[in-house]
Amino acid sequence: MANKQTNPTWVLVLTSLGFFMAMMDSMIVTTASTAIRNDFGISVGELQWALNAYNITIAAVLLIGVAIGDRIGHRRLYNIGLFIFVLGSVFCALSSNIDFLIASRVIEGIGASVMTPMSMAILTASIPPSERGKALGIWSGIGGLALIVGPALGGLIVAKLAWQWIFWINVPIGLVGIYLSQRKLPETQLEGNHLNIIDSILIVLSSAGIIWALSESTSKMIQTSTLIVGVLSIVLGVVFVLRQRYEKRPMIPLSFFKSWTFSGGVISTFLLYASMYGVVFFLPQYLQVADKSNALIAGLQLLPWTGTLVIVAPIAGKAVDKFGERLVAITGLLLQGIGYLWIVLTSVPGSPYWLMIIPLILAGAGISMAGPALQKAALGSVGRAEIAKASGIYNMFRLLGGAVGITVSVILFYAFGDIVTTTAFTNGFSAAMIGSSVLSLLGILSSVGLRSTLVK
């Protein structure tokens, strides 16, 4: 409960700011990726960690961040998260090599992992129930706006300044946010939530290790160290699952997965975002390498895809209520898969960009439909008291799916192409797009058994 009178407008603005920044930094890097790769002289396989380090860190720290916030106060942890995020952004901007950038992205991810849940907690506790639904809708919409603005803004910054400025821009905004949040946001907290540090360490080591081992398998000869890391990571994952089975207050209650609607929902979410992030990683690079677009133009060329979210998302929400989660999720996954396959047919060096517009719109409509349908299915399958933890698990699967999707795309890229020539890059890009399409279509299989809740 909020402990002082507050201005709802300030609460909405300041909590949305942190959410927007966290979401923005998962997308703004995409159109800067070619500039980063050229500047550091690195491979696509190394470049993927500039995105994966951020997403994996958020996924691993997300649930423990919620528990810490309930103990020390949501506003306090929100401001700590903002400060860590700003510090990570400074280190990212100062990075002189890919290793330093990856480490800095981990720091950013730690900050972002608490900014998002704390912003929602503060907003929920501070806004009157009669206005809460509207406020959460605006908050979610601002986060979605980051997905649209991110690639174009990243392209603009790279074209007019340098890629380092995609991180420098966070510093003044974040510092102003900390100053205002300390003065305008109420402190809210709940007592006694369980801190599960060991499980958080296990999940970050397991997920990062498995994804690293997968990424290293792109080489012709798989090293012994890669196999060792892969096996150890799987063992850590098994230990994590066993701990969830026997702990009194597990980080991820396995009882949730007894419901196929929850299991199918999070599995399909994993595949949906694995499919999307593989394309997020490669499409801006393809537009700059094969189509010779600069970073700004490439960002704008993504708008038929990302901009569709604004148009379709409200319609998709109503469609879920009318037709049920299962039908809308399956339709969305199908549209995304078809869209990506269609893009492959247009991926010929020298082909006009306009041929890509319709499949981009289809793919954008697909994710706009499937995302909310799967979220509603998964969260609607648990009790009201368990929604917060279920939401954390849902977001963890979403982020880990994105990281795995990028890695799978990189593996396919190097299996069929390379960065040496435009033709080789196009061949690799086409393979990655086909892989992303298959991931989306696989999500249909795990969505078939979803229970639908219709609004009469």
- DSSP secondary structure string, 263-318? HHHHHHHHHHHHHHHHHHHHHHHHHHHTS---HHHHHHHTHHHHTHHHHHHHHHHH
The Cα diameter of the chain in Å comes to 63
Structure tokens at 163: 């890629």
Write the burial class of residue 422 (CB in 10 Å: 0-12 exposed, 13-18 middle, 19+ buried). Answer: middle
Give the pLDDT of the chain (456 residues) as one tens digit per residue: 444 456 778 888 888 888 888 888 887 888 888 888 888 888 877 888 888 888 888 877 777 777 777 777 788 888 999 999 999 999 999 998 999 999 999 999 999 888 887 887 777 777 776 666 566 667 766 777 777 778 888 888 888 888 899 999 999 999 998 999 888 887 766 655 566 778 878 877 887 788 777 767 655 556 777 788 888 988 998 998 888 888 777 777 888 888 888 888 889 999 998 999 889 888 888 888 877 777 788 888 888 888 887 778 777 777 777 788 888 889 999 999 999 999 999 888 778 888 999 999 999 889 888 888 888 788 777 776 676 677 778 888 888 888 888 888 888 998 888 877 888 888 999 999 999 999 999 999 988 877 765 444
- Write down the pLDDT at residue 195: 65
Phi, psi of 164 (to 5 degrees): -60, -25
Long-range contacts of 411-415 (CB under 8 A, 24+ apart): 411/214, 411/215, 411/217, 411/218, 413/44, 413/282, 414/44, 414/45, 414/218, 415/218
Domains and their CATH numbers in the chain: 1-182 (1.20.1250.20), 252-450 (1.20.1250.20)
Place of tokens 């690079």: 285
CA distance linking residue 296 with residue 264, whole number of Å: 38
Phi, psi of 195 (to 5 degrees): -90, 125
CA angle 333, 339, 343 (to 5 degrees): 150
CA distance linking residue 233 with residue 227, whole number of Å: 10
Write the burial class of residue 120 (CB in 10 Å: 0-12 exposed, 13-18 middle, 19+ buried). Answer: buried
CA distance linking residue 345 with residue 352, whole number of Å: 12
CA angle 360, 138, 133 (to 5 degrees): 120
Identity at 206, one-letter amino acid code: S
| Of 345, 366, 344, residue with least CA distance to 283 | 344
DSSP 31: G
| Three-class DSSP labels, 81-118 | HHHHHHHHHHHHHCCCCHHHHHHHHHHHHHHHHHHHHH
DSSP 53: H
Phi, psi of 192 (to 5 degrees): 85, 10
CA angle 309, 350, 424 (to 5 degrees): 90
| Of 72, 84, 89, residue with least CA distance to 115 | 84
Chain centroid offset of residue 11 CA: 24
DSSP 32: G
Q: What is the pTM of this model?
A: 0.81
